[in-house]
Amino acid sequence: MRVHITDVEHGDMLKEDAFSQVGLHILPKGTVIRGEETDLLKRHKVEYVDIESREEAEAPGAGVLSEAMRGHMELAIRGYQSIFLEALTSGKFDEVTVDLQLEPLLRTVDEHRDVASLLLVLEREDVSLYNHSMQVGMLSYYIATWLGYSREQCYAISKAGYLHDIGKSKISPTIRNRSDYLTEYDQRELRKHAKLGYEIIRSSMDDETTALVALQHHEREDGSGYPEGLTKPDIHPYSQIVAVANTYLKLSESRRGEAKRPLLDILREVHELGFGKLNEKPVQALVQHLMSNLIGKNVRLNSGTTGTIILNNPSDLFKPLVRVGDQFHDLSRERQLAIEEIFV
């Protein structure tokens, strides 16, 4: 519902993005309005905003990770494990089982708007191959939605993301589960999972496109990928989306004994890969939506102080304007300052 800024209540949730009178993006939809957000809107002379009805804003799923979403994620992870083991033993899987695990999760995903918070929560968890596949399917769904694909196409893309690594069922567990150094032999063996995944999916489903995604999700537009060294014109659009989701999530995973990388560093790297390696359209969709989700988030700077992201900087998207107390810090100008952690 549309309300005047003076009628906004503490805890209201934006139903649509909020823009200033000159078209500057102020807050993303899904933002929960508190004192700081109200002050920000008033400073930019925003008169009206669209908010969720107050009953909907308090409904399950409005938080970072609702019980329903957590349950469906766990179901999808356990389901993938059974699909993986079936592929390991028989070389194929039951497509109906895939749909039974994935459909409930995606119905819940539709209700969750703050994707940045969701990804920050997932970063804290131990990531197995099964968990990773669930996350790639889920993030691929979001990216496809942002790109304007139909609901049916978004489901197909998510399903392809969910199954992209199924070929690893045929790779030696000592290689696929290794998190430290891989020898050249190990790398050659691991790369076989793309073709193996294609074969397993073609044996299980009458769906060439989903199989192509398994085959192509490590291809790169400059021809540097594998297994066939394809270039941009020959990589399926669904494969391009899943490649972006897979890359982002792989970069988010920390190796044993290493600290997790800051989210903005990961986004910057994915953004740079969009110039020649990953397709620029899904890269831009991911970066723009996650960055807009970060406005209003609390952060810790490398100075040890905590503050709030106020605006994204058009001159350097990954160096936003941060408020610390009564002071504002433009990180694009104060280069010695950097965001070390973003809080959900």
Contact 126, 177 (CB under 8 A): no
Same domain, 183 and 286: yes
**pLDDT 10s digits, 226-246:** 999 999 999 999 999 999 999
CA distance 252 to 122: 9
| Boundary of a domain, candidates 250, 266, 292 | 292
Residue 268 maps to a domain = yes
Q: What tokens appear for 64 in the block?
A: 């970072």
For range 47-65, the mean pLDDT:
61
Q: Is the pLDDT of residue 255 over 70?
A: no
Q: Is the pLDDT of residue 42 over 60?
A: yes
Same domain, 95 and 139: yes
Q: Is the pLDDT of residue 124 over 50?
A: yes
Categorize the per-residue pLDDT at 125 as very low, low, confident or very high, splitting at 50, 70 and 90: low
For range 24-36, the mean pLDDT:
73
Categorize the per-residue pLDDT at 69 as very low, low, confident or very high, splitting at 50, 70 and 90: confident
Same domain, 212 and 335: no
Same domain, 126 and 214: yes
Residue 284 maps to a domain = yes
Same domain, 125 and 233: yes
Same domain, 206 and 331: no
Same domain, 157 and 112: yes
Residue 130 maps to a domain = yes
Residue 203 maps to a domain = yes
CATH of the domain at 118: 1.10.3210.10
Categorize the per-residue pLDDT at 70 as very low, low, confident or very high, splitting at 50, 70 and 90: confident
Domain that holds residue 51: 2-57
Contact 216, 230 (CB under 8 A): yes
Mean of pLDDT over the chain: 88
**pLDDT 10s digits, 279-316:** 999 999 999 999 988 999 999 999 999 999 999 988 88
Residue 183 maps to a domain = yes
Give the model's pLDDT for residue 323.
94
Residue 62 maps to a domain = no
Residue 201 maps to a domain = yes
Q: Which residues, in sequence order, are CB contacts of 271 under 8 Å at separation 6+?
A: 283, 287, 317, 318
Written in H, E and C, the secondary structure of 201-230 is: HHHHCCCHHHHHHHHHCCCCCECCCCCCCC
Residue 126 maps to a domain = yes
C-alpha 139: how far from its chain's center? 4
Same domain, 281 and 226: yes
Q: Is the pLDDT of residue 342 over 80?
A: yes
Same domain, 9 and 134: no
CA distance 326 to 172: 56
Same domain, 92 and 159: yes
Q: Is the pLDDT of residue 329 over 80?
A: yes
Give the model's pLDDT for residue 55.
53
Contact 168, 129 (CB under 8 A): yes
Same domain, 151 and 261: yes
CATH of the domain at 44: 3.90.105.10
Q: Is the pLDDT of residue 56 over 60?
A: no
Same domain, 227 and 331: no
Give the model's pLDDT for residue 7.
76
Give the number of domains in the chain.
Answer: 3
The full length of the chain comes to 344
Backbone angles phi, psi at 14, to 5 degrees: -65, 130
